[in-house]
Amino acid sequence: MIVNPVAGAKSTRRHWPDISRLLKHIGLSFDFAYTEGIGHAIELARDAAVEGYRYVVAVGGDGTVHEVANGILSSCGARETMLGVISTGTGGDFARSLGIPRTYGPACSTIVANRQSHVDVGVVEFMRRGQKEQRYFVNGAGIGFDAAVVETIERSIKHFHGTIPYVLGLLRTLVCYRNKSVIINSGGKPEKQRIVTMVVANGAYFGGGMRVAPAADLHDGKFDVMTVHDIGKLGLLRAFPRIYKGTHVTHPRVFMDKAIEISVETSERVPVQADGEFLGVGPATFRILPAALTVSV
């Protein structure tokens, strides 16, 4: 059990004793460790997989799941290690996309049920401090406005709970954000475009329950790619509420596509995010690894 005590506006530390007692009551034997900062869950999960732990469970939010998955996938024991999720964070979008209960009682029962799902995983290459880096993602990634919102949230308003951080981050980012000129290459067909954002979806939900990619399937070996083409701020605000029902996909400035690999070239500073975590900037390349991770469901 890899427990992020600050997840869920620091509520996970308060809930962990109850979760721990419940897990023991239903017969699970386990070790646990608290994370101590950004990136620590990657290290803990990698070590656990190498040491032969069959289950590595993320207790926290989507950021915790993201790091634990990266730790498992970057280890030599990735194929033998199952990811479990007890969602106690602000969003819970990966759990929502996969149908894992988002309250810890039913989620604990899921851990001991021994049901498995082999899900697709994304890999994103991006730039950070002038160097090319790579990160796995399980739910989705993006470049442009959505990543700028994530960057804003991480800098100033992450302590709020639920969908509030995303809405506040969106409004704050909207004030100074400018649409970006990029070259998008999917299937060997580079196209110069001016976009608000591009979301590369593995799962259906983002930002605490928004149905960004309502048709996305974690098992189909493809990304659902949502590109919002050049649109003004007022038009974006008007269209935004539709994203909670998934009806934004019929908007004339929204384009949906399927892809197994897609790259974005740009000469501007364009932020990149994965699973709601700010990573760096473009250019960026996204590719899918079919059925690369086993998840307890």
H or E, element range at 51:
none
User: So what's the pLDDT on residue 157?
Assistant: 59
Under 8 Å between Cβ of 66 and 56:
no
* Distance between CA atoms of residues 82 and 293, nearest Å: 7
Give the model's pLDDT for residue 102: 86
Complete DSSP assignment for 219-272: TSS-EEEEEEES--HHHHHHHGGGGGTTGGGGSTTEEEEEESEEEEE-SS--EE
The reported pLDDT for the residue numbered 164 is: 65
What is the mean pLDDT, run by run of 10 residues, along the chain of 297 residues? 91 94 93 96 97 95 95 91 91 90 89 90 96 97 93 70 66 88 92 96 89 95 96 88 90 95 95 95 98 95
The model's pTM is 0.91
> CA–CA separation, 100 vs 85, rounded Å?
8
pLDDT of res. 141: 97
Bridge partners of 131, per DSSP, are 128
Which top CATH class is 121-291? mainly beta
Domain range summary for the chain, segments of one domain joined by + = 2-114, 121-291
Of 76, 82, 83, 104, the residue nearest 7 (C-alpha): 104
b/e string for 219-240 if b means 16 or more Cβ within 10 A?
A: eeebbbbbbbbebeeeebeebe
d(CA 16, CA 120) in angstroms, rounded, equals 29
Are domains 2-114 and 121-291 of this chain identical in fold?
no
Q: How far apart are CA 142 and CA 126, in angstroms?
A: 11
Kind of pairing, strands 2-3 and 55-60? parallel
Please, are residues 186 and 205 in contact by the beta-carbon 8 Å criterion?
no
Answer for the pair 179, 195: CB distance below 8 angstroms, yes or no.
yes
| Fold assignment, 2-114 | Rossmann fold (3.40.50)
